[in-house]
């Protein structure tokens, strides 16, 4: 693949500080204020200095190994598209997560597909489709882990009936209510997945009907992108690949929770493994919110909320964990991603332009301008 198309002076958009980046940075700033305004920062610093270093290093190693597991799992998801060697998959995984940590607006998701196309000559649309499938499996297992944690006898005994206040707001919720909402969400995800597997054309038509009330500039990108993703979602129609991906997903998320559990022990938080399962899954859901690069803000708010407000940990200790363990997950993969980007000669400007390159590839695949232009088609193919 050649370098990114720039489409005129400065490209089609500002790559570093567009409106999405500004919204994300603003949300992160607000959530950081909400998180740390209710604790003594001096005490947080003391808790950070007192961390059990051997346990912290072990926890860092465990959560970093998650990226090896992601690369192994990716093989099954990519199999309908191409047979990609592990080294190229692992490099692309690290480059993508590095992009999410350093670049705005989750560009790392596009960067990962772009890097894979450079490293292994995988079609960009096929690579992006594989990441959509990966996110579906992640979403199902993240929510499943939450359920398992809530079913544990070690889960806070009265959490299901007592209201838990949301810090910085006048809102509250119960675990029973949360479980019901998650059950509905899981049902919707499974229903959509089932429809995509067995009735892909009909699913596209339903999606088109569901967004028919939107202006054309919003409606057409949604439908055309869904068409492109369906072309690369062959893993959903192959029982062997689907079961293999599910097995690797289970390993990934239980292993990730193990890293959180060891990390909590490093900060003196002697909580049971179900607490780590709930925490890891909650943070994964919070990371889906718009934020500054590196999921700063949502990560810290959710970590302190789960540990202090739900499990009764000392608020300063929870804050120290949020700061320290966030860095444990941030630094190693960012350094590895920068190394692999340097090895393949990927510049920062090229990385920032990867979203534009991927959008161009989807446009060529579907014939629809993802920036809002309509090609005049009346019906979905």
Instruction: Quote the distance between the C-alpha of residue 372 and its chain's center.
Output: 25
* Best CA proximity match to 5, nearest among 124, 95, 106: 124
DSSP string of 46-100?
HHHHT--HHHHHHHHHHHHHHHHHHHHHHHHHHTTT----HHHHHHHHHHHHHHH
Contact in structure between 85 and 299 (CB atoms under 8 Å): no
As given in the structure block, the two tokens for residue 242 are 């689907």
Summarised one tens digit per residue, pLDDT across range 155-199 is 875 444 456 565 656 666 566 666 666 667 666 766 766 666 666
pLDDT digits (tens), the chain, 381 positions: 434 444 433 444 445 566 777 888 999 999 999 999 999 999 999 999 999 999 999 999 999 999 999 999 999 988 888 889 999 999 999 999 999 999 887 788 889 989 998 898 888 878 888 887 888 889 889 988 988 898 888 887 544 445 656 565 666 656 666 666 666 766 676 676 666 666 666 766 777 777 777 665 555 556 655 665 565 566 667 788 889 999 999 999 999 999 999 999 999 999 999 999 999 999 998 888 888 899 999 999 999 999 998 898 999 999 999 999 999 999 999 999 999 999 999 887 788 778 777 767 766 765 544 454 444 433 333
* Residue 151 CB neighbours (<10 A): 10
Per-residue tokens: 76? 């099954």
Look at the pTM and tell me if it is higher than 0.85: no
């Amino acid at each position: 693949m050649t370098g990114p198309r720039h489409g005129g002076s400065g490209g089609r958009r500002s790559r570093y500080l567009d409106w999405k980046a500004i919204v994300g940075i603003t949300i992160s700033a607000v959530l950081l204020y909400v998180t740390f305004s209710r604790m003594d920062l001096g005490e947080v610093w003391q808790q950070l200095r007192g961390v059990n270093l051997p346990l912290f290093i072990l926890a860092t190693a465990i959560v970093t190994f998650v990226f090896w597991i992601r690369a192994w799992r990716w093989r099954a998801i990519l199999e309908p598209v191409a047979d990609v060697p592990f080294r190229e998959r692992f490099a692309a995984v690290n480059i993508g997560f590095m992009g999410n940590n350093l670049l705005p607006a989750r560009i790392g998701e596009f960067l990962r597909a772009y890097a894979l196309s450079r490293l292994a000559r995988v079609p960009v649309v096929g690579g992006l489709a594989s990441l959509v499938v990966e996110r579906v499996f992640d979403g199902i297992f993240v929510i499943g882990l939450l359920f398992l944690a809530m079913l544990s006898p070690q889960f806070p005994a009265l959490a299901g009936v007592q209201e838990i206040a949301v810090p910085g707001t006048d809102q509250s919720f119960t675990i029973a209510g949360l479980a019901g909402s998650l059950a509905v969400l899981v049902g919707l995800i499974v229903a959509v997945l089932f429809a995509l597997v067995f009735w892909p054309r009909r699913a596209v038509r339903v999606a088109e009907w569901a967004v028919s009330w939107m202006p054309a500039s919003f409606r057409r990108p949604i439908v055309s992108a869904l068409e492109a993703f369906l072309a690369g979602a062959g893993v959903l129609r192959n029982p062997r690949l689907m079961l293999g991906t599910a097995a690797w997903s289970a390993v990934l998320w239980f292993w990730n929770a193990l890293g959180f559990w060891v990390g909590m022990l490093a900060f003196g938080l002697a909580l049971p493994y179900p607490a780590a399962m709930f925490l890891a899954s909650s943070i994964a859901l919070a990371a889906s919110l718009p934020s500054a690069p590196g999921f700063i803000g949502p990560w810290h708010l959710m970590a302190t909320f789960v540990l202090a407000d739900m499990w009764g940990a000392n608020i300063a200790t929870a804050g120290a964990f949020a700061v320290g363990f966030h860095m444990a997950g941030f630094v190693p993969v960012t350094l590895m991603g920068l190394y692999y980007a340097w090895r393949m000669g990927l510049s920062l400007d090229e990385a920032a332009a990867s979203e534009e390159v991927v959008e161009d590839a989807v446009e060529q695949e579907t014939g629809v301008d993802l920036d809002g232009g309509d090609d005049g088609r009346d019906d979905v193919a």
